[in-house]
Amino acid sequence: MKKIILTSAFIVFTIALSGLSHAKVTGVCYNCHTMHNSQGGAAMAYQLKATLDGFEADQTPNPCLLTYDCIGCHFSSTANTIVSNTPIVLNSTAPASPLAGGNFYWSLSDNKKGHNVYGITAQEGSPMDAPPGFKASASLPSSYGTGPASWATQLNCAGVYGCHGDRTQGATAATVVEAMRGSHHTDDSAIDGTSTGKSYRFLRGVNGVELNAAGYKWEQTANSTNHNGYKGGATPGTTTDSISYLCGSCHGNFHGHGNLGGSSEVGSSSPWFRHPSDLAFSGVGGGYGGSEYAAYTSYSTTAPVALSTPSTSTSTVDSGSMVICLSCHRAHGSPYYKMLRWDYKSATLSTALSGCNVCHTSKN
C-alpha cells in the first residue's frame, strides 16, 4: 500500500456520512480506523499540527483505533464548512458559511469569541478556566448522571469536561473518545435522547430535530422554514432534555431549573435576576397579549426560538415559542463578543441591538 500523503484535502476521506438525512457513518472501516497504527513501518494515526497547516503522524495510537480525533475529522484548511458530508467546526481560514454552532476559527485570535477547547486554543487563566456560573455535581440532561464536582481541566469536545457524548465518561483529553464510543454507528433516524447516538447532535439526553434537508444541512444555510428544531421548556423548571438545560449543566447558575441555578440565581418570574432561558413567551411579565414579544411573529435565524415539540419547518412564532441559550449565542464560536449571534459591541446602535430587538421589539 502506498504511503498516504497528507494535504489539506485529505480530510475529505476521513469520514463518510450517509446520504443527506442522518449522521450514521457508512463506507469502508479504514476511512476512520487503523487496526495496528502501522503500515509499512509508518504510523497511521494523525494529529492536527499546532500551526493548523496539516497533519503529522502520531506514534501513539488513538482510542477506538481511530486515525483522527474529533478535531482532526471536523477540521478544514479551506473556507468550506461541509467537506465530503462532514460538518466542519474549525477552519484555519475564515469560514465561508458557518454552521449552526458557529466555528472555533474566531477563538484562535480572541478567546472571548468562542469556547476554548483543548487542542484548539490554550486554556484561559483563572477565573475563566472554569465555566462561568459553574455548578458542582449538576444533574445532567434527562437525569442520566451528574456532572463533575469541580472543574479540573480544560474544556474538551466531549466527555466529563465537554459537551458532546456521555458526560460520565472520558475525563481526560486522551480518553474523551470513550464518551462518543459507537455513536457515529448508531441509527439516529429517531432522536429521543436515550443514548448519545440517538440524542440531538450527539449531546446525550438532549432532544430536538436536526435540519438535514438538502442545501440546508447543519444550517449551512437557514431560513424561517428550514432551521434546526430546538427543544425548549415553557418555564425553566419544566424540562431536562432541552439544549439550554445542557448549557446549564455547566453554566448552572445561568439556568433557572431547580436542578441547576434555580429561582435564587435566575428568578421565577419578572423581574428576573438573570436573563431566563427555557421560557415561553406566554410566561413574560405582564402577559403575552399586547406585549412587545407578540410582535415577533416570523421565525428569525438571528434569534431562533425553541418549541416543546420541535420542528425544522415551523415559521410562526407565538406565545408557545421559547427563548433558549441559542437565541443569543452560538455553541462553538462566532465573529462576535461572547459568542453572540450579532455584533452586540458595534458602535452603531441599530447593529448592536439587532438581535435583542427581534424579541424586544419596542426597545429600539
pLDDT, tens only, 242-279? 999 999 999 999 999 999 999 999 999 999 999 999 99
DSSP letter for 58, please. -
Q: How confident is the model at residue 22 (pLDDT cuts 50, 70, 90)?
A: low
Give the ranges where 184-335 is alpha helix by DSSP (H): 243-248, 262-265
- The count of C-alpha atoms lying within 13 angstroms of the C-alpha of 262, restricted to the half-sphere facing its C-beta, is 6
Cα separation of 50 and 54, whole Å? 9
Cell numbers at 309, concatenated = 415539540
Instruction: Give the three-state DSSP class for 293.
Output: helix
Question: Could you report the per-residue pLDDT of 92-136, keeping only the tens digit for each?
Answer: 999 999 999 999 999 999 999 999 999 999 999 999 999 999 999
Lowest mean pLDDT among 4-8, 37-41, 97-101, 191-195: 4-8
Query: Does the structure show a pLDDT above 90 at 354?
Result: yes
Question: Could you report the per-residue pLDDT of 37-84, keeping only the tens digit for each?
Answer: 888 888 888 988 888 888 999 888 888 999 999 999 999 999 999 999
DSSP letter for 225, please. T
Question: Could you report the per-residue pLDDT of 221-237, keeping only the tens digit for each?
Answer: 999 999 999 999 999 99
Query: Does the structure show a pLDDT above 70 at 30?
Result: yes
Q: How confident is the model at residue 13 (pLDDT cuts 50, 70, 90)?
A: very low
Q: What are phi and psi of 139, to 5 degrees?
A: -70, 130
71 touches 120 (CB < 8 A): yes
Please give the pLDDT value at position 3: 33
User: CA 265, 267, 269: angle at the middle one, nearest 5?
Assistant: 170
Query: Does the structure show a pLDDT above 80 at 8?
Result: no
222 touches 216 (CB < 8 A): yes
Cα separation of 317 and 272, whole Å? 22
Which own/partner contact pairs does 43-46 have at CB distance under 8 Å and 24+ positions apart? 44/4, 46/6, 46/72
Question: Could you report the per-residue pLDDT of 320-348, keeping only the tens digit for each?
Answer: 999 999 999 999 999 999 999 999 999 99
Mean pLDDT rounded to a whole number for the chain = 92
Lowest mean pLDDT among 6-20, 151-165, 186-200: 6-20
Cα separation of 99 and 89, whole Å? 8
Whether pTM exceeds 0.85: yes
Please give the pLDDT value at position 153: 94
Cα separation of 92 and 322, whole Å? 35
Please give the pLDDT value at position 74: 96
Scored b (16 or more CB within 10 A) or e, 75-88 reads: bbbeebbebebbbb
Please give the pLDDT value at position 111: 95
